[in-house]
Amino acid sequence: MTSGAPYENEPVYQNAVKQLKEAAALLGLPDDVVEVLRHPERVLQVKIPVRLDNGKIAVFIGWRSQHNSALGPYKGGIRYHPNVTIGEVVTLSMWMTWKNALAGIPYGGGKGGIKVDPKKLSPRELEELSRKYFAAIADIVGEDIDIPAPDVYTNPQIMAWFFDEYSKIKRYPAWGVVTAKPPIIGGLRPREVSTGYGTALVAREAAKLALGGFEGKTVAIQGFGNCGRYAALYSVKWGAKVVAVSDSKGGIYDPNGLDVEKLFEVKDKTGSVINYPGAKRITNEELLELDVDILMPAALENVITEKNAPNIKAKIISECANGPTTPEADHILHQKGVIVIPDILANAGGVMMSWIEWSHNRMGCWLTDEEALDRLDKKMTHNFHEVYNEWQKKYSDHPMRAAAYAIAVDRVVRAMKLRGWI
């Protein structure tokens, strides 16, 4: 059944619906409940006129999708990217519903985006864009309604502008309206590392079960943004060997291992990891098919497909990006014996740390960086083993994603039933 919604024909949304239907089949949910779950509760589209430095006015289009609030206020990031579409934003908000439910934190799912290349804007233009976007969605967000955070090409500075603009509109300091703020205005320093930390952590736990340990195992990471770089840092800290990384300009490979601190320096100074000295240049596509123990896709969605899945040699895939593996590829990899730790589990470190930040903002409390990371480590370790054990007991004929989705969707459905929504 189709509803005529503008996002329904987009492939990324169709993949998300396939994943939902697979989970629903395992849970025995009727079609009408799936129909309720696959649509967002609200999608707001806004026009953002920005006066450029040359005096001309450019108009940008932005969205905020609020998928489901059965378990709590909507929660999810805002991305700035030239390829953002309404379908992508709606899909990401659905994935946030499952991610937050699986994480066991009191949030529903939301996501936002602006179709823009932020690299082409000056700092003043970027600030005007950010403030006008948040002013445009101010009526539907709030500490107990919808709590945005950073995503692709957004950062703590942009969160600071969001926080300030919303506080001006509401006429009080709304500390909890966004998370991943700069620490001086209520943020937590570990928030920056938390997504990559969590991705490396679940890979570490999977390696203990499937590879005899994490120490000495080889790791390839596609994407060296916030998530990819900290996944690399903690992988090395916990004893693994990062042998390949990439960004939008290409990748590098050294079977003897890469110096992660040097990679940070090269990326920050030159803009790309390809300028790292002494390593072999490879493409992003070649990186995915390297003979490594662990692969961490940390770029964009749909990079592992039915075309390249048969060539992937990694034994564990920990999904740092949202939706990097298509449903068809997921089944191919499962048949090969590859453990694919799904995005809604592997990259949940960011939203978990956001929950820690938000709850402390709401209570007026404080905690140390070490306490925050310790809470994240314990919670994500617990969540990984909970999903892994459920997978082995009930759903071992399916990819691990099936168990994660079954747990998450079941929690949302039970909340909706208790509240009388279905």
Q: Is residue 398 part of a domain?
A: no
Q: Is residue 48 part of a domain?
A: yes
**Across 327-346, average pLDDT:** 96
Q: Which among 388, 340, 218 is positioned nearest to 287, based on CA atoms?
A: 218
Check pLDDT > 90 for residue 85.
yes
Among 155-164, 265-274, 289-298, 361-370, name the one with the lowest average pLDDT.
361-370
| pLDDT band of 119, cuts 50, 70, 90 | very high
Summarised one tens digit per residue, pLDDT across range 173-214 is 999 999 999 999 999 999 999 999 999 999 999 999 999 999
Same domain, residue pair 211 and 333: yes
Check pLDDT > 60 for residue 22.
yes
What domain count does the chain have? Answer: 2
Q: Which of 140, 175, 210 is the last residue of a domain?
A: 175
Q: Which of 113, 144, 175 is the last residue of a domain?
A: 175
Same domain, residue pair 218 and 324: yes
- The pLDDT value recorded for residue 320 is 94
Biggest alpha carbon distance in the chain? 63
* Residue labelled with tokens 């390839």: 220
**Across 65-73, average pLDDT:** 98
- The pLDDT value recorded for residue 2 is 65
Q: Is residue 95 part of a domain?
A: yes
Same domain, residue pair 233 and 329: yes
- The pLDDT value recorded for residue 15 is 86
Q: Is residue 377 part of a domain?
A: no
Q: Is residue 268 part of a domain?
A: yes
Same domain, residue pair 334 and 203: yes
Same domain, residue pair 196 and 342: yes
| pLDDT band of 154, cuts 50, 70, 90 | very high
Same domain, residue pair 338 and 307: yes
- Spatial separation of the C-alpha atoms in residues 89 and 66, rounded to whole Å: 9
Return all residues near 56 (Cβ < 8 A) that are at least 6 apart.
none
Same domain, residue pair 126 and 266: no
CB 68 within 8 A of CB 105: no
List the catalytic residue out of 111, 217, 267, 379: 111
- The pLDDT value recorded for residue 142 is 98
Same domain, residue pair 57 and 167: yes
Q: Is residue 421 part of a domain?
A: no
**Which domain does 66 fall in, by range?**
42-175
CATH number, domain containing residue 287: 3.40.50.720
Q: Is residue 156 part of a domain?
A: yes
Mean pLDDT of the chain: 95
Summarised one tens digit per residue, pLDDT across range 356-379 is 999 999 988 888 899 999 999 999
- Spatial separation of the C-alpha atoms in residues 111 and 89, rounded to whole Å: 6
Query: How do 218-222 and 241-247 pair as beta strands?
Result: parallel
Is 208 catalytic? The answer is no
Query: How do 280-282 and 250-253 pair as beta strands?
Result: antiparallel
**Across 322-327, average pLDDT:** 88
| pLDDT band of 322, cuts 50, 70, 90 | confident
Summarised one tens digit per residue, pLDDT across range 371-419 is 999 999 999 999 999 999 999 999 999 999 999 999 999 999 999 999 9
Check pLDDT > 80 for residue 236.
yes
| pLDDT band of 350, cuts 50, 70, 90 | very high
Same domain, residue pair 204 and 342: yes
Same domain, residue pair 260 and 338: yes
CATH number, domain containing residue 95: 3.40.50.10860
Check pLDDT > 70 for residue 132.
yes
Question: How many of the other CB atoms lie within 10 Å of CB of 225?
Answer: 18
Same domain, residue pair 226 and 152: no
How many helices (H) and strands (E) are present in the chain, helices listed first?
A: 14, 12
Same domain, residue pair 161 and 201: no
**Across 96-105, average pLDDT:** 96
- The pLDDT value recorded for residue 323 is 84
Q: What percent of the chain has pLDDT over 70?
A: 100
- Spatial separation of the C-alpha atoms in residues 38 and 94, rounded to whole Å: 8
Burial of 232-259, coded b for 16+ CB within 10 Å and e otherwise, reads: bbbbbeeebbbbbbbbeeebbbbeeebb
Q: Is residue 278 part of a domain?
A: yes
Q: Which of 147, 175, 203 is the last residue of a domain?
A: 175
Summarised one tens digit per residue, pLDDT across range 27-59 is 999 999 999 999 999 999 999 999 999 999 999
